Structure 1
Amino acid sequence: MNKPLKMTCSMLLIIITVLASMYVHPVLGAPSQEANRILQDSLSMIEIDHEIERISQEQATLLHRQQELQSHLTAQQEQMTLQRNRVGSVLRSYYMGERDKLLSVVLGARSLKQLLSLYDYYLLLISHDQDILQEYESNMRTMRETEKQVTQTALELETIKSNLLEQRKRIVTLQSRVNDGVNSSGDPDTLRELISEMTAYWENIGVYEVNRHFKALAQAMQDLPQFIQQQQGAMITNGKTITINIREADFNRFLKSENELFNHFNFSFKQDRIVVEGQQGTMKLRVEGHYTVENEPQNSILFHVDRLVFNGLELPDTTRNKLERDFDLGFYPQQLISYVQATEVHILAGTLEVQLELSLK
């Protein structure tokens, strides 16, 4: 049981050593910039391949959903055809005055007992007519909603297919660039081995560490409203407008108090962007992003990852998008004050500024 563990640790040490050394010395006699480009392309291929797998699964799920909806729609259409005949019969009876004739019979009853009996029958018939019409109307609404869902699913499938094709084209382009770069290097076999080791390091350690730090940040952001309330002068009210100012130093202090992981990282507020840089062990991470005000599905200030650099290698947009999907780094003003709505967000040198307005909605 201990031998495989020792081999794994030994292999991991070799991988880390090789990766650490590649940023200090030229690799295989080639410029380190070119070697990094090949490694970065290889890493992008891995991540885009994961995105292709995700899209393919989503496509299969949507296709199954579309088939189910189409089956429901066919059954509903058949049911509506049968109901249409019943509704037509009811409407014709009113149009031809048959119900009026029945009412005349009721009103022409010769005794109170006969009147009550005929009237009960008349009400029962009218109620039955209304049930048929209401059921038809309800089923028609359901069928139209199903038709919309079928159409929407078809559009989503087309979008997914287009995205899938685009990602596959990117894979082909990257593969060609990697092959050309490897073949033109001084030692293709060694470079391929380095690519393999870098891949293992990213998938076994890198992905876990990046996710761990983003998860910690997402959890910390849940406590940001409470932190803002405790900061004297952080909120300035001017009529119906409330301005929140979060200073860079305060934000770093807040995060470090939330999780010791952030003791190794620094968050910088620069003009129109936030930059996160740090190193923990063998992992170097740099994240650049910005905030936007969104109103759907609710008013919020959402963080968007513009760049993600892991140990000097920039990861593709598919990885950034996945992190945004998996971890909510947003700020929700109504958690701070229930009757406000965010209207603007500005990242200035050293300060994050949020504009809120009173809302009675």
Structure 2
Amino acid sequence: MSIRRSLALAGSVALASSIVLGGAQGALAVGSASPSATAAAKADKAAHKILDLSVKGVPNEFFAGGEAREFTFTIDNATAHDFAFVPLLKFKDNKGKLRADDFKAEYQLPKTTAWIPTVPPPGVDGSGDDAGLTALASLTPEGELTDDSVLFVGKGTSVTIKVRVSFTKDAPLGKAAVVPVVVSAELDDTTHEANGDGVWSCDQIKGAGFTIKAPKPVPSPSASTTKPSTSPSPSATVSTSPSATTSPSTSASPSATATQTSTPTTPATTPATTPATTPATSPSASTSAPAPSTSATDGTQTPVDFPVKAPTVTPPKITDEAVTKAKAKADAAAKDLATTGGGSDSTPIAIAGGAVLAAGIGTLVVLRRRKTAQDS
């Protein structure tokens, strides 16, 4: 085969490869799904009308007076429309005694580092079934939700919020649960205004149960090291006993002294160890939360085994101004993601396709010039 024909063949192969790679992005998007499967997926999405809520990584145990522990709250939009929403969490124990004053909850929005305290939503008075309801939001001086409290989730996307919670030393002990809640409003596809007022959505099935426990007693380090040093040693008491100082035979006779020190002295050893062990069982020993126990980071959360109802108070209003701000923030975040690359799988394919296309064109240019040179 001549060199000219080899170059021509190489150029054709390179150009064909570039065309194949250039179309790979579309092939990945289309996939191998059959028309019927695609239609079924669209039908399911159209029938889905509410946001899917879940909490993950909720520890199986909390300790009254203990440290805060983290989990996540995810709002997933598998519907065919965009939504505006306000996230909330509902804490409840199986005896109905848990109140907002019994815990401290904070949240962290995506791509932020600040922990923000939750607030009681408007209309909740701290009693009844909604006593443990708390909003991942902020309030105006008048006690209403701020516009910044409203978040946006586009169709086919999700929002995940970090949460950390601790319980006070006076929190009721026993079984409890946390259930994800939102006030949500479906948005018009054209105007992106809320279609009516916000409504409650509460998913007990995807909540998580846990147990609030009392902290275990832990011995105080200072008690075990200082108390024995301040107590008189039993051995010292024996050595200064009247029999040792007043008896002439004991002080004068070396053999008597040797006999006294070599005989077993049970009273001298038993009391000496008593002060070291007493603080471990002493009621005055300090208490603190034990080391963190098993957390549900592997997805095996404790189910909620008692009923938790959706809130009964009037849902906070989601205004058009709040929706506009929420969508603008989401659009800005999406734009930043696109500018920084966004992690799209199509980017490497596009780069590879462009490189091969350039190689193919270059090969054809070289071939054409060689042919021109030979003809002349």
Give the alignment's TM-score, normalised by structure 2.
0.22
Q: Which has the higher contact order (CA 8 A, sep 6+)?
A: 2
Larger radius of gyration: 2
- Higher helix proportion, which one? 1
Q: TM-score, normalised by structure 1?
A: 0.23
